[in-house]
Structure 1
Amino acid sequence: MLNLSRPDWESRLREGQSLLPQIQPVNPALARQAVEIFDMLCIPDVIGQPTFGEAAGDWFRDVVRMLFGALDPATNERQIRELFLLVPKKNSKTTNGAALMMTALMVNQRPNAEFLIVAPTKEIAFLAFNQASGMVRADRELLGMFHIQENQKRLTLKRSGATLSVKAFSKEVMTGVKPAGVLVDEEHVIALNADAGDVMGQIRGGMISQPEAFLAIITTQSDKPPRGCFREDLLQARAIRDGKSHRQGDDGETQVAVGTGILPVIYEFPDRLQKPALIGDFAAWEDPSVWPMVLPNLGRSITIHRLQQEYETARGKGIAELSRWASQHLNVEIGLALRSDRWVGADYWVGAGDDTLTLEEVLARAEVVVAGIDGGGLDDLLSLVVLGRDATTQEWLHWQKSWVFEGVLSLRKKEASVMRDFQAQGDLVIVSEPGDDIEQLADVLEAVDARGGLAQVGLDPQGVGAIVDALAVRGIGRDRVVGVSQGWTLSGAIKTAERKLADGTFRHGARPIMAWAASNAKVEPRGNAIVITKQAAGNLKIDPLMATFNAVTLMSRNPEAPGGKSIYERKSLWAC
């Protein structure tokens, strides 16, 4: 079993050293041959068309050496089956990927082997193909070796019949393919497709019959919170890089065993430099002195001076554009998608996160709690928020849980992968029978009430009969269930939440589903008030955020625990 970890990756990034693991090629002869072929290819869109040997960085040459040197000459089985390369834009990602596939085509020994370039759009795929065909056109010898079929976007190596072609990323097109090698470009965009996970599964499944096959995923970071197959592959690659035997899920539990044969090459800042940009402040990654850590092609296809100019432009346009720019050009992982018509509180949301705030922690610290509920239609998330007031600091402590009917995943296919992510993280329950969601929500509130301190439950007064009845059965009577008017009358709660997020007195559990809901919120002015609505597209949900505002409405009224008992009396701290 190969050890493909590189646990000292942080120090190596700072020192500009290779991120490749410390292993020797099982096939050094093929490794040398692959590097020689890679080096002799010409870069077609650079003045003078220099070869990769003259102009490419050693960082990618090392990738070529390790990937092709992993083909066991005795068994013809590849020990490294996948490459996961995360690198910012303008670091020759697409050009290097095309050269990788050209190299694979020429070292391949299988007759009529099929090599594929797969991308989220035809334009991106054609760009990679045009780079590959340009390499052929730039070399007279290669022109004699290859047949270029421009109309079909296919290159054929005449001596073996092996082909390199472009395929659309779709379940129908990828069904039945048995590729010897696949380049997947920009997986973070591909992951937005509803069936992306299934298609990636088809690609991997088609490789099984060919022991020498490989999958190369070359991508930048997402300009939205990572989701679906991209998020899964990124987490697994990080786990391998860090030397973990298992991947840890967002809930802290071991979820997926790390597979062997996946080579992680991840150019990203360590966590302490990944902090988000805040209003009126500078994030650690905004210091240009740290940028070389994640720019392996620095001094070739990109310079710090050029990036600084783009950075200043992005910062001048506001935090939303700055976050987008950082995700693409510095691989900063953003936890919140921001838009120009966003809710102001979203700017402060990530900074208010505290991943220790479980429901148990909220109840242990709170002198009084209220609950907010929103949603409940078959096309909604039924969302519950428990909001506690800290007995010592008076901070408001937030916890959330949501439920969704499984039919929504078919109805809203574009968001299905996000829902599955939230389910894996433990923040969303997918139910198969209508009514199960209400019963489970009521069970949670019954447990909260049993701990003492549940003052009130706030919810939209429209269409909530089933929820009110379920709570009544569990001893939470109508005297504690409060209708919270919606629309412009929520303006006070919205503005209160904004202020408390900004001044640090509103803390939440840093759960991805809440960041998602906050980023989906669209602000619309209504006279002197504001209204929070869904994004114009209509597919994205804000139910967890609306449940939050319902809870904020109640907490703003300064409630007391049931019976008027103090926190000390309820917890029997004086009994000894």
Structure 2
Amino acid sequence: MFDTEPLPRFACPDWWEKLQAGEVPIAPVPINAEKKAKLLAFFNRLRLPDVPGNPTMAEACGEWFKTILVAFFASEDPETHREIVWELLCMVPKKNSKSTYVAALGLTALYMEEAPNRQMLLVGPSQNISERLFSQAQGMIDLDEKLKLIFKVQDHLKTITRRKTGTALDVKTFDTSIVTGEIPVLTIIDELHELGKKAKAAKVMQQIRGGGITKVRGKVLMITTQSDEMPTGIWESELKKARAIRDGKGGRSPIMLPVLYEFPVKQQLDPKFWGDRANWALVLPNLGLSIDEEALEADYENNGRISKQVEQIWASQHLNIEIGVGIGGDAWSGAVHWEGASVPGLTLDQLLDECEVCTIGVDWGGADDLAALAVVGRRKRDKVWLLWAKAWARKTVFKQRPKIADALRGFEEDGDLSVVDSPEKQAAEAAAICAMVNHTGKLPEAGGIGLDVAGVALLLDALEEQQMASPLIQSVRQGWALQPAVTTVALKLESRRLLHADQPIMAWAVGNAKQELKGNNYMVTKEVSGAGKIDPLMAAFDAAMLMFNNPQPSGTSIYEERGILVI
């Protein structure tokens, strides 16, 4: 018997086959033919203001983008005649005329909107990008006398208004105040990946999406390249959602239509594949239009291959190769298996409830560094290891490490990072977690808490105040001595004999981790990993080193000792 159940809306299981055939990797959607014709008639007349000869979009725009334009604005349920695409996420590599096309799309939307006095937003992540978006739209209007009669341009406000309706397209730089009062009927966000570095981005996106449940529904179009660092924040969550919808795992009736120009994970993991110039065209829909193939190859040879790190950044921007978990020739060997070994929502309380014994690893840091604690538990029913972590940052970290400040704020919102005023507070909070675990009776009498001894004096004092000392607390040798953890934890992840709590801060640390072979030992150290923070992973290695000793729990918990029944 054949399974004839229809695919979930917007699922595109054959997206890779479509890319290989030179097609747009998009699910088919029903289209209103009349609206499509009107859209393309206006869009195609727009001219490129920064290209010699000012060709029209009919000549110069890739068909892939016109497909996106039509799907976003002309989708319609043939029975109810209601629009079905309310959000669209397009990820396409750099230099595919993304920003220019988006400016033209914004003007087209403004022309098509018949409702009076509405608000539309065209949002860039930085002032430079916002100004370029506005200048492109303004340049298109300046090239056409008829468009000057249709639109009023206010340069000082970065606003374009359709005279007939009073509806305005405001070009803005992303910040927490871009949405004030009225919910926009359309929001176009360029370079969404940059918002992953902004801590408040999720709240602003929620405010923008508030229009989705009103009678005058708001549409959202997001277009971006891949991030030049590991995806975090709103970018990570939107990308995961788009991939899930594309793969048929995003529910029955999603409202986001994903269009992702990327290689499958297997191909992203293979530098020989994505390094082959013959495969670049698969994810570069504007190759031969805005992208010159010879120039791209020359740029790769002369600028993209300076070092392994530079090559990864180049590939992320020009080929949408994701940096972080599983990507990068010198990545920690466990990174590729990290995502597949997650238990979303696993809490410390659940870990303690399911495990017969636990060990704790601690990696401490200075004023410009993170501190981290990891708990590894051995599950009662099958001996699988479970992992949960917590990190701390002093306020000085945000000043001294500005490049990761927004990412840290996001981890703080997740609840996985605590920002504290003093090292004493940091030590006290970590010691309190150790004490809580110890009180359950799940720690062994000796070797239950393992420390990298660098800079832990305050922590040792805090642990002593909680009646914890040697032999419960032991030092864990670093460097080459962590080889068993570096290699064995990777193998346990691959076999799913180690499962983790799917915490973004841990995925970030894993993505930052680099390993090198010294003699016969694979080493992951802070020195090898450079500026990327790996403290939570190092804490997990410390806890793993203690768990290798096959510890047994100390026995009775403090609650049982006091005659308290815990249910």
Same fold, TM-score > 0.5, yes or no: yes
147-156 vs 186-195, which moves further:
147-156
Alignment of 1:365-444 (within 5 A): 372-375=361-364, 381-384=371-374, 386=376, 400-404=387-391, 414-416=406-408, 418-419=410-411, 428=416, 438-441=431-434
- Aligned partner of 2:457 in structure 1 is 462
Structure 2: 5+ residue stretches without partners? 1-6, 347-356, 379-383, 400-404, 494-499, 516-523, 553-567
- Aligned partner of 1:574 in structure 2 is none
Q: Which amino acid aligns with 1:304?
A: E
Contact 1:459 1:482 survives alignment (8 Å): no
- Aligned partner of 1:112 in structure 2 is 117
Q: Which amino acid aligns with 1:403?
A: K
Q: Which amino acid aligns with 1:113?
A: R
CA distance in 2: counterparts of 1:44 and 1:74, whole angstroms? 41
Distance 1:348 1:450, change over 3 A: closer
- Aligned partner of 1:494 in structure 2 is 479
CA distance in 2: counterparts of 1:122 and 1:345, whole angstroms? 35
Q: Which amino acid aligns with 1:92?
A: S
* Residue 138 of structure 1, CA deviation: 1.6
Is it true that 1:36 corresponds to 2:41 in the alignment?
Answer: yes
- Aligned partner of 2:520 in structure 1 is none
Q: Which amino acid aligns with 1:458?
A: L
* Residue 350 of structure 1, CA deviation: 3.4
* Residue 439 of structure 1, CA deviation: 4.7
441-450 vs 83-92, which moves further:
441-450
* Residue 372 of structure 1, CA deviation: 2.8
- Aligned partner of 2:264 in structure 1 is 270
Contact 2:150 2:162 survives alignment (8 Å): yes
Q: Which amino acid aligns with 2:374?
A: L
Structure 1 vs Structure 2 CA RMSD? 4.6
Contact 1:6 1:242 survives alignment (8 Å): yes
CA distance in 1: counterparts of 2:71 and 2:102, whole angstroms? 15
Distance 1:375 1:220, change over 3 A: same
CA distance in 1: counterparts of 2:358 and 2:80, whole angstroms? 64
- Aligned partner of 2:539 in structure 1 is 547
CA distance in 2: counterparts of 1:134 and 1:323, whole angstroms? 35
Residue 297 of structure 2: which of 308, 316, 324 is its match? 308
* Residue 96 of structure 1, CA deviation: 1.0
- Aligned partner of 1:292 in structure 2 is 281
Residue 350 of structure 1: which of 316, 323, 335 is its match? 335
Distance 1:198 1:445, change over 3 A: same
* Deviations, residues 113-158 of structure 1 (Å, cap 9, x unaligned): 2221111111101111111111111222212322222222222222
Give the SS at the match of 2:451. strand
CA distance in 1: counterparts of 2:436 and 2:299, whole angstroms? 52
* Residue 376 of structure 1, CA deviation: 9.3
Is it true that 1:260 corresponds to 2:286 in the alignment?
Answer: no
Residue 195 of structure 1: which of 177, 192, 200 is its match? 200
Output the TM-score relative to the length of structure 1: 0.73
Give the SS at the match of 1:415. helix
Give the SS at the match of 1:88. coil
CA distance in 1: counterparts of 2:441 and 2:57, whole angstroms? 63
Structure 1: 5+ residue stretches without partners? 247-257, 277-281, 360-367, 389-396, 485-489, 524-529, 564-576
How many residue pairs get aligned? The number is 502
Output the TM-score relative to the length of structure 2: 0.74
- Aligned partner of 1:47 in structure 2 is 52
* Deviations, residues 168-200 of structure 1 (Å, cap 9, x unaligned): 312223221322211111111122112111111
Q: Which amino acid aligns with 2:268?
A: Q
Contact 1:146 1:157 survives alignment (8 Å): yes
CA distance in 2: counterparts of 1:158 and 1:127, whole angstroms? 23
* Residue 345 of structure 1, CA deviation: 7.2
CA distance in 2: counterparts of 1:29 and 1:545, whole angstroms? 56
Contact 2:24 2:259 survives alignment (8 Å): no
Contact 1:468 1:478 survives alignment (8 Å): no
CA distance in 1: counterparts of 2:396 and 2:253, whole angstroms? 28
Is it true that 1:22 corresponds to 2:9 in the alignment?
Answer: no
Give the SS at the match of 2:178. helix
- Aligned partner of 1:325 in structure 2 is 314
CA distance in 1: counterparts of 2:512 and 2:395, whole angstroms? 17
